[in-house]
Structure 1
């Protein structure tokens, strides 16, 4: 894997750290849960990471099969044009994405471990359709013809980076206790108000990345 590709995929992973739903659930649990907080939150985050990792593997293998269906003469040009079109559409759509000032973030209905797993799947299903950085990273790795031993650990690293902010919040909460109460409240309000804006920014940035990356192969 080239350093340029690794840098781009790493940047997309950092962008995916701004997931409003996953952060929103984490903040809610930190503010409301008193018993077995760490275990419940880690079950939730593990479910989210496992879901995205499985989706990533499916798409990597599926895209690889589709790409090999084309001849080597047309493969790069066709894929590059598709990436260019998707990038342009994402960039344009980012200006029209609804930026509502209040969004209801998912919350657990009970405190059991099974409810944390169910919440993880629910959050992942809600966000997977708007996981533009993740799918852009998968597309870039697929078009680069990486071997399994190259893209598999990259997917693992991507998903670890994606759930890193909630883990950092949990660590700070465990270390600082009540000191984190007010910052978490402010973060919860901001996430509830501006989740639409975060997705809009993601769409525009990913769109630009796809556009510039595809120009070299047209």
Structure 2
């Protein structure tokens, strides 16, 4: 493996690190009032990294076949119908965001239940399997949207590395991707007493606005899809 490839992969991993599963959910877990149990946050991050490693292995092994199949499928679909389908899907995602926000508001006590589950999971009294399930769901939901990760997998596949180097490159990428969350967790543990009041205030704000944030997140994805489809349609017609 060349230094250029290694540095490129490290850069892509750092770009990937502020994602939903690798940083936002860990921060939410770290906001749990009380002393943070290192084993719980470590278990979450290890599960996320292991998931991405396994996905990367599958993609590298079948990258050429999968890319060729995708190109053949997309080549048979005219550009305008493809973009119109994307536009419709984006509108449906925006509509879904309103539905999710309305349902979360109707449930009322959902933030309270989530806080209690998080407190049990992070204190050690709750199921560790539930924490692993959260990690797997978070990683699975966003893996297809993590373009730097997919680009890194493509670079590793194109590099034609030996199997052990391929595994090492994927493992290193997944570790670097979790570094910001690890640094924050260490800071949270080291500065527990000083950080507690601020973390409690942030936690209260997050839980009060969780329903609205869910709608904004999903709606933002839909808006991005719609805008991309509109721009592509205008370019195709010009």
Could you say whether these structures have the same fold, taking a TM-score greater than 0.5 normalized by the shorter chain as the test?
Answer: yes
Conserved in 1, the CA contact under 8 Å of 2:22 and 2:177? no
Partner of 1:130: 145
2:191 is aligned, of 171, 176, 181, to: 176
Contact 1:20 1:195 in 2 (8 A): no
SS of the residue corresponding to residue 31 of structure 2 reads helix
Alpha-carbon contact 1:27-1:184 (below 8 Å) kept: no
* Cα drift, residue 18 of structure 1: 1.1
Structure 2 stretches of 5 or more lacking a match? 76-85, 105-113, 122-126, 207-212, 222-238
Which protein is richer in helix relative to its size?
2
Matched with 1:32 is 32
Q: Is the 8 A contact 1:60 1:142 kept in 2?
A: yes
Where do residues 153-168 of structure 1 align in structure 2 (5 Å cutoff)? Answer: 153-168=168-183
Q: How does 1:139-218 map to 2 (within 5 A)?
A: 139-181=154-196, 182=198
Aligned residues: 175
Q: Distance in 2 between matches of 1:184 and 1:165?
A: 21
In 2, the alpha carbon distance for the partners of 1:117 and 1:134 equals 21
Q: Equivalent residues in 2 for 1:45-64 (5 A)?
A: 45-63=45-63
The structure with more radius of gyration: 2
User: Residue 135 of structure 1: CA displacement?
Assistant: 0.8
Structure 1 segments (4+ residues) deviating >3 Å: 33-36, 107-110, 183-189, 192-196
Q: CA deviation at 1:142?
A: 0.9
Aligned residue for 2:23? 23
Deviation of 1:17 (Å): 1.1
**What are the ranges of 5 or more consecutive residues in structure 1 without an aligned counterpart?**
71-77, 83-92, 200-218
